[in-house]
Structure 1
Amino acid sequence: MILLFAVIATAVLMLVCGFEMFLVLGVPAIMAKQFFYGSLPDPVIVQKVVGGINHSTLLAIPFFILAAELMGDGQIARRLTGLVQSLVGHRKGGIGYTVIGGSMAFGSVSGSAPATVAAMGRMVYPEMRAAGFREKFSLGLVASSAETALLIPPSITLIIYGWMTGASVARLFVAGIAAGLVLGLVFAILVAVEARRSGVSAGPQTSWSERFAAIRHAGWALGMPLIILGGIYTGFFTPTEAAAASVVYAIFVESVVFRSLTFRRLFEITERAAISTAIIFILLALGGLLSYFITLAQVPNQILAFLAAVDAGPIIFLLVVNVAFLIAGMFIDPNSALLILVPPLYPVATAFGIDPIHFGMIVTLNISVGMITPPFGLDLFVASSTLGKPVMTIISGIWPFVIANLVALAVITYVPPISTFLPNLVFG
């Protein structure tokens, strides 16, 4: 337990001093080796850093990041959003439902919340304001609805969780559909209340012929989620193979069919995706090193012993998990929270008999909430940059969605079948 306190104290001090996140993960790990496990040979550090990310499952991450960049920069995202708008845009507050549905559709082919904020914000924010939604609500919805991208497969967060715990990524993807729908439903209720309160007008009525035309217009775009999800669920693709196929498909559709992708743009998009991938993998490598020393110190067993001593059961444990992730999400990026908290908490969850897939949904939704909680929620800054609005303006409109998230989190935490029913139905 002394090691745990030392690691936490060092990490907090470095955060307060403004150190980069990879140092916040790496320095405490190296200190743990030097002061608590000095007998270990120095090459262990290199082995754990390099070997920790030498896993085929993680290959899906750079492919999905590249696919997200390709689709957000091209026509696929726009056509998927246009299809959603043709189906629900005619209702009162329909553009708000379009934001939610469009974010879920884009998330189903990207797996990235920041990419979803950037892509959706440019397309739908002006329409929300024109329809009569208040500025703060519009900004809050754009930033918050992107969270569904972390739950709706293919989710990079679920891939990392599966890599860390050994849980089936395919099962996590199926469970993410149900969890994402719960979160989307809660947001839709907020949109309905706001539309009634602000007197938002309904969109133009769409005929069935226009809807069929929108489906045809989005036909090639719809092929992307069919390839990714259909290939994984039928067993034709592994998640990594599906990620690679999604990149090939996106390049083909954007360059040959839609003719929106030039070689120069492809180079620029690939460069952006490579930088994003490098950032994530540096965090994964150093987070894996820290996890090694946390496990070596038997921190999970000490947490379990403490919970047993205070007679805390799984209900209290899950409450502690949620509070810990919510606090961490306010100050550090989601992947770092995942890398720091899952190693000590996951073994305790399994000891309590909590299903790994269910625990994955709880963790991922907590990570999603962290994307929009001040002061350092990543999606807040992406929305600010994309829409040219002050961060404080976005924060002032985010609180109803934080409360909605907490409602969805409570439901998913304490109703396990929401997370486990579909995976058991699909895979047995």
Structure 2
Amino acid sequence: MGDIGAVMMIGLVVLLALGVPIAFTIGLLAAVGIWMSDINPMILPQQFIAGSSVTSLLAIPGFILAGEIMSAGGLSRRLVRVAEKFFGHLTGGLSMSTVAAGTFFGAISGSAPATTAAVGSIMIDELEDRGYQRGYAAALATAVGPLGQMIPPSIPMVIWGVLAEESIAKLFLAGIIPGLIAATGFCLVSVIYARYHGIAKENRATVKEVLIAMKDGIWALLAPVVILGGIYSGMFTPTEAAMVGALYSVIIGLFVYRDLSWRQIPAILMSSMKTTGMIMFIIAVAYGFAWVMASEQIPARLTQALLLLTDNPIILLLIVNVMLLLLGAVMDNISAMVILSGVLIGLGQQIGLDPVQLGAMVVINFAVGMVTPPVGYSIFVASSISGLRVETVARHIWPFMLVLLTVVALVAYVPAVTLWLPEKFG
């Protein structure tokens, strides 16, 4: 690998083990790599700027803002209410309602922590009041978070599309079936849990109650239709769709539902700007780190090293998926995607993996990392909302993890799971 590659890889492990924030870690190592390579140091800030100047990344602040406004504007609450009317009378109905609400909100926010926060803030207390253990309720809210990264629009899909120079619209389509499979698996867990713990069924909603909930929630239900319909009809790009979604959420929150006030807008803008700034900072420094690695041919050497272990595509896919799951549990997924993009793209080409399937596999593996200790953001969000320790939430997460790992395996070994929709409609 060479001296520079060895220093960067060892430095990455050591600094992360010492608890140095990931953005500072990779920024420092990029600077060290430039210094050791005797390259003009001005290259590094140029790469930082280049990494954060890709037009498609403009979709990120739009989706973040749309998700926050929709949560504050009452859209998420109405989605939950609609889901309750349809599923509440079934065995495990309230738990299934949480899954359905997470699926709908995931089709708006594009973010795992945002989906967990929006659904968990409403449903954790409600689930506990209806007989569910609070730890289970928090774990369920954690588990539905990754649906926000699988079901379009998805912020990580946007980032991977930029890194791999792949169609973001096709990547969006690739995440739909895995997301729906995960949601179906969570519903199955809900039924098993409710039967085992003797959770009472809710009364079946009357037709009138369903219609009232649908009427009240129609504008929330139309949000993903507006965003995704606009993308796939060709009316606007994913970046433009993010801005349309933000504008739509403002209009509905202020003038239709009136749960949003003008006084809340500055705080929402500030919060979304902080989140966007954090993400863009990570992308910028990771882009510089990835450039140094590429200039030293580290991704190509790592790819060859993996191929020397075995040339069996099935075993290689297993190794890659295990590696992604482990990294997703300890690293920020955006940083990991940028750092590993060169290695993963090269490896995918070597074993004949479709680029869209590869992108979906990477994003979904890292989505699972969002619910895996010790760095799973969704677990921390659910812990904060529920008031439970992270360890308590983690103890209840295992049945949902089994579902997510099954989805990971299907994405890796059954190409149609991710490629059927892009090939049919892409």
1:12 and 2:13 correspond: yes
Write the deviation string for residues 67-108 of structure 1: whole angstroms up to 9, x where unpaired: 111011121111112112211111111011111111111111
Q: 1 CA distance for matches of 2:121 and 2:309?
A: 51
1:354 lines up with 2:353 in the alignment: yes
What CA deviation, in whole Å up to 9, does each residue of 1:316-346 have, x standing for no partner? 2211211111111222222122222222212
1:293 deviates by 1.6
Structure 2 equivalent of residue 30 of structure 1: 31
Label 1:104 to 1:4 Cα distance change in 2 as closer, same or farther (>3 A): farther
How much has 1:276 moved relative to structure 2? 0.3
SS in 2 for 1:19: coil
What is the CA–CA distance in structure 1 between the aligned matches of 2:78 and 2:137, rounded to whole Å?
Answer: 21
User: Aligned ranges for residues 372-387 of structure 1 at < 5 Å?
Assistant: 372-387=371-386
- Counterpart in 1 of 2:78? 79
Residue 123 of structure 2 corresponds to: 124
Q: Which residue of 2 aligns with 1:426?
A: 425
C-alpha deviation, 1:210, in angstroms:
2.4
The equivalent residue for 1:218 is 217
The 5 A counterparts of 1:326-345 are 326-345=325-344
Runs of 4+ in 1 over 6 A off after TM superposition: none
For normalisation by structure 1, the TM-score amounts to: 0.96
Pair 375,311 (structure 1): closer, same or farther in 2 beyond 3 Å: closer
Correspondence 1:71-110 to 2 at 5 A? 71-110=70-109
Shift of 1:259: 1.4
Which residue of structure 1 aligns with residue 47 of structure 2?
A: 48
Distance in 1 of aligned mates of 2:391 and 2:300: 42
2:206 is the counterpart of 1:207: yes
CA RMSD of aligned residues (A): 1.4
TM-score normalised over the length of structure 2: 0.97
Task: Tell me if structure 2 keeps the 8 A contact 1:303–1:348.
Answer: no
CA distance in 1, matches of 2:284, 2:391: 33
Native 8 Å contact 1:186 1:408 kept in 2: no
State the match for 1:304 in structure 2. Answer: 303
How does 1:141-180 map onto structure 2 within 5 Å? 141-180=140-179
Determine if contact 2:169/2:231 at 8 Å carries over to the other structure. yes
Tell me the distance in 1 between the aligned counterparts of 2:307 and 2:65.
46
* Matches for 1:310-321 after TM superposition, within 5 Å: 310-321=309-320
In the alignment, residue 20 of structure 1 is paired with which amino acid? Answer: P
| 1:400 positional shift | 2.1
Structure 1, unaligned stretches of length 5 or more? Answer: none
Q: Which residue of 1 aligns with 2:322?
A: 323
1:403 shift after superposition: 2.3
CA deviation profile, 1:392-424 (whole Å, cap 9, x unmatched): 211111122222221221122111100000111
Secondary structure of 2:184's match? helix
| Separation in 2, partners of 1:172, 1:371 | 19
Moved more, 415-424 or 217-226: 217-226
Q: Secondary structure at the match of 1:263?
A: coil
- In 2, distance between residues paired with 1:194 and 1:157? 31
Q: Secondary structure in 2 aligned to 1:54?
A: coil
Q: Structure 1 residue 357: deviation in Å?
A: 1.1
Counterparts of 1:57 and 1:324, CA distance in 2: 28
Secondary structure, counterpart of 2:203 in structure 1: coil
Q: Which amino acid aligns with 1:426?
A: F
Q: Deviations over 1:342-363 (max 9, x none)?
A: 2221221122110111111111
List alignment gaps of at least 5 residues for structure 2.
none
1:266 is matched with: 265
What is the CA–CA distance in structure 2 between the aligned matches of 1:134 and 1:263, rounded to whole Å?
38
Residue 382 of structure 1 deviates from its aligned partner by 0.8
Question: Retained in 1: the 8 A contact 2:310–2:316?
Answer: no
Letter in 2 for 1:11: L
TM-aligned CA distance change 1:342 to 1:254, over 3 Å: same
Identity %: 33
Alignment partners' CA distance in 2, 1:99 and 1:312: 43
Q: Counterpart in 1 of 2:411?
A: 412
Confirm or deny: 8 A CA contact 1:100 1:184 kept in the other structure: yes
Letter in 2 for 1:91: L
Larger displacement relative to structure 2 (280-289 or 358-367): 358-367
Does 345-354 or 164-173 show the bigger shift?
Answer: 345-354
Whether the 8 Å CA contact 2:35–2:41 is kept in 1: the answer is no
Asked if 1:286 is matched to 2:282, the reply is no
Question: In structure 2, what is the Cα distance between the partners aligned to 1:426 and 1:409?
Answer: 23
